[in-house]
A and B are shown apart, each in its own frame.
Chain A
Amino acid sequence: MTTATKPKAGTKQWWRRTGPPGGDSNALIGQNKATPYLFSLPAIVLVAAFLGFPVLWGVWQSLYRKPSLGAAADWVGLENYRDLFSSDEFWHSLNRTTVFVVGSVVLGTVLGLFFAFALFRIVGRLRFLRAVTVSPYIVSNVAAAVMFRILFNGQFGTVNQILGWFGIDGPSWLADPALAMVVVIFTQVWTDLPLTILLLLGGLMILDKAYLEAALVDGATGWTRSRYVTIPLLAPQLMISTVWLSYSTLTGLGVVLALTGGGPLKSTQTMAMEMYTTAFRNLRFNEALALATFILILNAFLTMGYVLIGRRYEYES
């Protein structure tokens, strides 16, 4: 650091500055040049080795296939994908995933909005209720599955008891192919809702109040104001929470596996479950990696879709 004097603007040697553009306004004096690299290297290496590399390797391996277990893998190009798209299991699991994702996103968004509005009204006692709201966040997927299996039990479950008060004979939820998915969706949403609520609540709190005031002056109250003013203003947060709910259900395996394991009669066999079954029960890893790659790509496209739709509803600022 001998060139302490800054090159004057306009001199031809401006590119010879020791630091990057912006000068060293953020640097500390007397720093060893190697220090930042030493500090950041372990993190970069670990992330590259255990997050970056595995995904790329997985995509690469989806282009191979082992003729038999233990044999060397052959290059088959896109054949794993061709077989995937022509298999009935794939289309069945895509169908199940669609129900799962759409159901969870709709239920999660509706409940998230409802509860965020409810929490927004009480500013003073907010802290206590916020803590309660976040509590599902500390429960593992397996524990949530146990809790909801008890809650939705056909014989002694609380849900059926409540239905009984209204004279409805509660079904055995998890044994019924049509109803098992409902329980899975409820469990998944229960575990994902804390973050959704926090996101939407945060959005409500930083709303540009000028719009709300204008609406108030114009006489818009209650539902009208929520529907035409507040919710459109929440578009960015709604978009993020939709991305989050969709991501978490599309790639979520824990809840489904622990609650139903894909059953009954494969009625909750989502793509994530199908991937797991193909890889770890049938030991066809390369074929499963093709499905995993498809899920990752689908997730990326869905995310982009939500962002584009969210942009359209966002107010011009």
Chain B
Amino acid sequence: MTHRDPSEDILHESESIAESAQAVAGPPPEPRKLVGSRARRIARNAFIAIPLILLVIWTVLPFLVTLSVSFKHKADVFANPGLIPTSPTLNAYREVLSSESFTTSFVNSVIVGTGTTFLTLLIGVPAAYAFARFRFRGRHLLLLFTLIPRLVPSLGLMIPIYRMAVFAGQLDKRSTLIIVYTAMLLPLAVWLMVGFFQSIPREIEEAATVDGATLWGRLRYIVAPLAAPAMITIGVLAFREAWNEFTLVLVLTNTPGKRTLPFELYQMQGIEGIANFPGEAAFTILTILPFVLLYTRVEKYVVAGVVSGSGK
């Protein structure tokens, strides 16, 4: 089983589709142009542009609306429902940033997110390396045991994991969240990393071995640098999961000091009798923003990683 980077295939294929379409269609575009008037060209452009505009609206409008409300005064939300705030204010942000519920849950989210990321890499990468590089008894079966649980929806885990945590006295602990999230992410991490490791030519490592490199030397100076983009992808996916996960943190924590951001935001909606829309909106934006900053730096790896993982 040789692994190829699917994104390369996609690029290559789309080029050759364009080429062969040209080869088949050949000259025809010219007579068309003679018949087709300016209006027709505009119509064709519109045919391409309108779906794209709809796509951007569909994706971006919820963000814009939330951003807009977050800059409004509470009274303005109803009085001036327009997208552009008439008297923009940072009140909601000030209010959220100074509230203990936000700062505490933010710190919790950072701790749980980083913990999950590191634990997933620490456990997932060596496992994937073993499955990709070593031949050992039962490796196919063991790999299957690691991957199949990925099919289990977290809904099926909610009650059992809660009961286990109660039984072990591990309820309401950040470490419990980190371990559970890591377990949920490991199948995906191993799956993606096995593919990446298989795509690194074995000869490089063998050459290093001949030159006297030990296993650790190879891992440190050859494998780790080559696998860095894949590890970044998995790190981001792990962080995202821990940052956004809601239903498990809902049942595994119960005191305000241990909640992560999604739970705190949910709580905020529930507690306030009259909805504080600017506050909720600002909280939402502040939940998304840190991840956006992280994500934009590594986005290209993640898209390639998700495509390569799901395409197989």
Q: Is there an interface contact between A202 and B10, defined as CB atoms closer than 8 Å?
A: yes
Least CB distance, A57 to chain B, in whole angstroms? 5
| B164 CB–A CB distance under 8 Å | yes
Stretch from A5-13, A22-30, A305-313 contacting the other chain: A22-30
| Given the contacts A36-B136, A115-B51, A216-B24, A146 and B66 also touching, CB distance less than 8 Å | yes
Is B21's CB within 8 Å of the partner chain A? yes
Tell me the dominant secondary structure on chain A's binding face.
Answer: helix
B130 to chain A, nearest CB (A): 4
CA distance A179 to B244 in the complex (A): 27
A50 touches B10 (CB 8 A): no
Instruction: Give the complex CA separation of A157 and B81 in angstroms.
Output: 7
Identity of the chain B residue whose Cβ is nearest the Cβ of A295 in the assembled complex: B155
B contact patch SS: helix
Stretch at the interface among A75-83, A88-96, A98-106, A116-124: A116-124
> Least Cβ distance of B151 to chain A in Å?
8
For the complex, what is the distance from the CA of A312 to the CA of B254, rounded to whole Å? 49
For chain B, the count of residues having a C-beta within 8 Å of the partner chain is 107
Q: Are A28 and B134 in contact (CB under 8 A)?
A: yes
Q: Give the A interface residue count (CB, 8 A).
A: 107
Whether B134 pairs with A143 at a CB distance below 8 angstroms is no
CB-contacts of A273-299 with B (<8 A): 275-276, 279-280, 285, 288-289, 292-293, 295-296, 299
Please judge, given known A-B contacts A42-B123, A212-B21, A216-B24, whether A54 and B63 are in contact too, CB under 8 Å.
no
Complex Cα distance, B10 from A213, in Å, reads 18
In the complex, B310 has a CB within 8 A of chain A:
yes
**Most B C-beta atoms less than 10 A away, residue of A27, A55, A289:** A55
Interface string of B117-138 (1 = CB under 8 A from A): 0000001101101110111110
Task: Choose from B13, B56, B133, B251 the contact partner of A280 (Cβ within 8 Å).
Answer: B251
Q: Which residues of B contact A285 (CB under 8 A)?
A: 159, 163
Top 10 A-B pairs, shortest CB-CB distance: A54-B160, A118-B51, A50-B183, A251-B153, A140-B244, A51-B149, A43-B127, A156-B81, A39-B130, A36-B134
A contact set with B: CB distance below 8 Å: 19-20, 22, 24, 26-33, 35-37, 39-40, 42-44, 46-55, 57-58, 61, 111, 114-115, 117-119, 121-123, 127, 129-148, 150-151, 153, 155-158, 161, 190, 193, 195, 198-199, 202, 205-207, 209, 212-213, 216-217, 240, 247, 250-254, 257-258, 272, 275-276, 279-280, 285, 288-289, 292-293, 295-296, 299
